[in-house]
Amino acid sequence: MHSSSHIIKFANDTTMVGLISKNNESVYREEVQRLTAWCKANNLSLNVDKTKEMVVDFRRPQSCHCLLFIDESSVEIIKSTKFLGVHLVENVTLSLNTSSISKKAQQHLYFLQRLRKAHLPPPILTMFYRGTIESILSSCITAWFGNCTVSDRKTLQRIVSTAEKIIGVSLPSITDM
């Protein structure tokens, strides 16, 4: 394995991360071919239809990227993907991840309101908040929160503030999670 390429294995998914420098994609492409050969040698099959490639390119202007082929089938180039629960986008912004998290958390705010209307006490409402909404907001937070925009942070904090109003108690802010 070349030092500019890394393989990440999680359950039955494999992710290869390759750094292409000086416009030389050959090392990356060789690593993909090496992985393909290893899979064949170990009686594993790569499903090329499920294999995706995401290119993060900060050059100005961005150049065209050659298609990657595995067993004479082209690999689809995608603009975003979900990796271990975090939405990653080719321009490395986290707005898609934030909007996905906030949408999911807001859906659970509805159930928190229903529980309050059923006259459940604040400790039970807080327990529900921590088990559902806070766990959504804080999922993989150390991996993505540091790169959030101020606007994204405010969006997430509004969810915490809404939950505070519903429950009637102070809750840890999004930055304290």
| pLDDT computed for residue 162 by the predictor | 98
Residue 2 clears pLDDT 70, i.e. is over it? no
Query: 9 vs 62, which has greater pLDDT?
Result: 9
| pLDDT computed for residue 1 by the predictor | 62
DSSP 8-state symbol, 146: G
Residue 52 clears pLDDT 90, i.e. is over it? yes
Tokens encoding 98: 């934030």
Q: What percent of the chain has pLDDT over 90?
A: 64
Partners of 9 in beta bridges: 14
Top mean-pLDDT range of 36-40, 50-54, 151-155: 151-155
Tokens encoding 10: 């999680």
Beta strands in 2-79 (DSSP E): 5-10, 13-18, 52-54, 69-70, 73-74, 76-78
| pLDDT computed for residue 151 by the predictor | 96
Residue 98 clears pLDDT 90, i.e. is over it? yes
Rounded Cα distance, 82 and 150, in Å = 22
Query: 1 vs 106, which has greater pLDDT?
Result: 106
| pLDDT computed for residue 154 by the predictor | 97
Question: Which sequence spans correspond to the domains of the chain?
Answer: 5-78, 95-176
Tokens encoding 63: 């150049």
Q: What is the 3-state secondary structure (H, E, C) of the chain?
A: CCCCEEEEEECCEEEEEECCECCECHHHHHHHHHHHHHHHHCCCCCCCCCCEEECCCCCCCCCCCCCCEECCEECEEECEEEECCEEEECCCCCHHHHHHHHHHHHHHHHHHHHHHHCCCCHHHHHHHHHHHHHHHHCCCHHHHHHHCCHHHHHHHHHHHHHHHHHHCCCCCCHHHC
Average pLDDT over residues 43-59: 87
Average pLDDT over all residues of the chain: 91
Mean pLDDT is lowest, of 4-8, 132-136, 139-143, 149-153, for: 4-8
pTM of the model: 0.78
